[in-house]
C-alpha cells in the first residue's frame, strides 16, 4: 500500500491497521502522515476525549489540534449526540467498530460522510481507541444526484405513459370514424365509384386499419417496460405448436414449419408467447414468396445459455443493416414487399432483455434469416430438460 496515494479503500484501511499492530516504532510517523483521517481517544465510555489527531483529520474537519485535544467528538461538534451514542454502544458490545458508516460534521457545519473503523490499541501501558475514517462524501453526493435523476426519470416516464395513452385514445376515435365512413362508402356507394374511386376507398380503409395496428403495437411496446415479470415454467414445445396452429387458422401461406423438440423455459408466459408469435409469423411472412418456403424452430443449451433458433429460407436481409432490425419503425422492406409496422422486433428485443437474455439475427439477401433468443440457464430463468 502506498500510504500517500489519493486512492484509499477499505482494503488500504485494513493494511494500515495491520501495520500499526505489527510495528509500534513506525506508528507515530504513519499516524501523522497517513492520507486516512486518524484520531486517538481514551476508552472511557462516559467521556472518550481526543488525545491525538493526524494532519488529514485536522485538514478534513477544520479544527486545530488545540481545539480537539481533551474534548469529546460531541463537545467539539464532529458528531451528533445520537451518532456518538450509536458508535459507543457498538464498541461497548463488540469491543470495536469495523468498516461502518458514520456521519461527521466539520467546523463549518458541513456534513462529512465516512466509512470508519475503531480499534483498541495498547501504548505505554495505556489503552486507546484508534479511529480510521475514509471520506466518502463525493460518493454519497453522486449517489444523491443519481437518485434525483432516477426520480425525475420516473416522473417523466409516468408523464410519457399518460401522454401515450391519451394520444392513443384520441387517435383511435377519429381512425374508427374514418374507417367506418369509408366502409359505408365501400358498401353503399360502391356502384357510383369508378375503378380508381374504389381503389381510393380501399386504400383509405387499409391505411386507417394499419394506423390502428401501429397504435396497438406502440402501446404494447410501451407496456413491456412496466411491472414485474410473472415467471413460471413454460412448455416451449407446446407453446410454439399452439402458435403455429393459430397462424395456420388465420390463412397464412402454406409454409412448411419444422419444430424440433424444444427445451422448457421459465419466464412470463404472455410475453414469451408474444416473442415467439412475432418471430414465427415473421419467418412465415418473409419466406412466403418462395416456391418451397420452410421454417425451422429448434433449441439447445450452449455456453450456459438456452438458445431458441427460428430459421427461414425467405427473403433475408443485408447484414450491413442488422443493427436497425430491432429499432422502432426500422424496416428493411417496403410495404409493397411485406406489410408491417416496424415495431415487432423491437418488442421481441425488449421482452428478452427484460428476461435477462439477448436476441441476435443473421441473414443474407434472398437466402433467408436466422433469429436466436438466448436466455441464461439458471434457477430464475430456465428449467433445463
Tens of pLDDT along 220-236?
Answer: 666 676 667 788 899 99
Do 184 and 70 share a domain, yes or no? no
Decide which of 250 and 330 is more confident: 250
Q: Is there a domain that residue 3 lies in?
A: no
Q: Which of 108-112, 282-286, 338-342 has the lowest mean pLDDT?
A: 338-342
* Cα torsion angle, 191, 192, 193, 195, sign: positive
Do 194 and 278 share a domain, yes or no? no
**CATH number of the domain that 323 lies in?**
3.30.565.10
86-109 confidence digits (pLDDT tens): 988 888 888 888 888 989 999 999
Do 369 and 245 share a domain, yes or no? yes
Angle value at C-alpha 183, between 177 and 187, nearest 5 degrees: 150
Average pLDDT, rounded, for the chain: 79
Do 188 and 273 share a domain, yes or no? no
Do 236 and 368 share a domain, yes or no? yes
CA distance 285 to 308: 19
Average pLDDT of 341-364?
Answer: 83
Do 259 and 181 share a domain, yes or no? no
- Residue 37 pLDDT > 50: yes
Average pLDDT of 134-163?
Answer: 78
Do 241 and 376 share a domain, yes or no? yes
**CATH number of the domain that 108 lies in?**
3.30.450.20
Q: Is there a domain that residue 164 lies in?
A: yes
Do 262 and 363 share a domain, yes or no? yes
Do 193 and 237 share a domain, yes or no? no
**CATH number of the domain that 194 lies in?**
1.10.287
- Residue 2 pLDDT > 50: no
Which is nearest to 286 in space by CA: 319, 259, 308, 317?
317
CA distance 37 to 31: 9
CA distance 237 to 366: 29
Highest mean predicted confidence (pLDDT) among 146-150, 242-246, 328-332 = 242-246
Task: Return the pLDDT at 20.
Answer: 54
Do 116 and 151 share a domain, yes or no? no
DSSP state of 322: G
pLDDT band for position 16 (cuts 50, 70, 90): low
| Beta pairing, strands 37-41 & 256-259 | unpaired
What grid cell was written down for 138? 463525493
Q: Are 280 and 297 in contact (CB under 8 A)?
A: yes
Angle value at C-alpha 141, between 138 and 144, nearest 5 degrees: 150
Q: Is there a domain that residue 48 lies in?
A: yes
**Residue 302 lies in domain:** 228-385
254-289 confidence digits (pLDDT tens): 788 898 999 999 888 888 888 898 889 888 888 877
Query: CB atoms < 10 A from the CB of 111, how many?
Result: 12
Do 280 and 161 share a domain, yes or no? no
Name the domain count of the chain. 3
Residue that finishes a domain, picked among 70, 101, 135: 135
Q: pTM for the whole thing?
A: 0.50
Do 125 and 83 share a domain, yes or no? yes
Task: Return the pLDDT at 75.
Answer: 92
Amino acid at each position: 500500500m502506498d500510504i500517500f496515494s489519493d486512492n484509499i479503500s477499505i482494503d488500504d484501511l485494513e493494511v494500515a491497521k495491520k501495520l500499526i499492530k505489527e510495528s509500534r516504532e513506525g506508528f507515530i510517523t504513519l499516524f501523522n502522515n497517513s492520507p486516512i483521517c486518524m484520531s486517538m481517544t481514551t476508552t472511557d465510555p462516559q467521556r472518550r476525549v481526543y488525545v491525538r489527531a493526524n494532519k488529514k483529520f485536522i485538514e478534513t474537519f477544520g479544527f486545530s489540534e488545540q481545539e480537539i485535544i481533551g474534548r469529546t467528538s460531541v463537545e467539539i461538534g464532529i458528531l451528533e449526540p445520537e451518532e456518538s451514542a450509536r458508535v459507543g454502544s457498538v464498541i461497548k458490545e463488540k469491543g470495536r467498530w469495523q468498516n461502518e458508516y458514520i456521519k461527521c460534521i466539520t467546523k463549518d457545519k458541513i456534513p462529512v460522510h465516512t466509512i470508519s473503523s475503531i480499534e483498541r490499541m495498547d501504548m505505554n501501558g495505556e489503552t486507546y481507541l484508534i479511529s480510521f475514517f475514509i471520506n466518502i462524501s463525493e460518493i454519497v453526493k453522486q449517489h444523491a444526484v443519481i437518485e434525483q435523476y432516477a426520480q425525475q426519470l420516473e416522473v417523466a416516464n409516468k408523464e410519457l405513459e399518460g401522454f401515450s395513452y391519451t394520444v392513443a385514445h384520441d387517435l383511435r376515435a377519429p381512425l374508427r370514424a374514418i374507417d367506418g365512413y369509408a366502409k359505408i362508402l365501400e358498401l353503399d356507394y360502391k356502384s357510383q365509384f369508378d375503378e380508381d374511386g374504389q381503389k381510393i376507398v380501399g386504400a383509405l380503409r387499409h391505411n386507417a386499419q394499419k394506423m390502428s395496428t401501429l397504435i396497438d403495437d406502440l402501446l404494447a411496446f410501451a407496456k413491456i417496460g412496466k411491472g414485474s415479470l410473472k415467471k413460471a415454467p413454460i412448455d416451449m414445445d407446446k407453446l410454439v405448436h399452439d402458435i403455429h396452429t393459430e397462424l395456420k387458422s388465420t390463412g397464412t401461406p402454406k409454409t412448411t414449419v419444422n419444430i424440433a423438440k424444444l427445451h422448457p423455459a421459465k419466464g412470463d408466459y404472455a410475453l414469451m408467447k408474444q416473442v415467439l408469435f412475432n418471430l414465427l409469423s415473421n419467418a412465415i411472412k418473409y419466406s412466403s414468396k418462395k416456391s418451397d418456403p420452410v421454417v425451422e424452430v429448434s433449441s439447445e443449451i450452449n455456453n450456459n445459455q438456452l438458445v431458441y433458433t427460428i430459421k427461414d429460407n425467405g427473403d433475408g436481409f443485408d447484414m450491413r443493416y442488422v443493427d436497425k432490425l430491432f429499432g422502432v419503425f426500422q424496416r428493411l422492406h417496403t410495404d409493397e414487399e411485406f406489410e408491417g409496422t416496424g415495431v415487432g422486433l423491437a418488442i421481441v428485443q425488449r421482452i428478452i432483455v427484460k428476461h435477462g437474455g439477448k436476441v441476435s439475427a443473421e441473414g443474407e439477401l434472398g437466402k433467408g434469416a436466422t433469429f436466436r433468443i438466448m436466455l441464461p440457464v439458471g434457477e430464475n430463468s430456465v428449467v433445463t430438460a
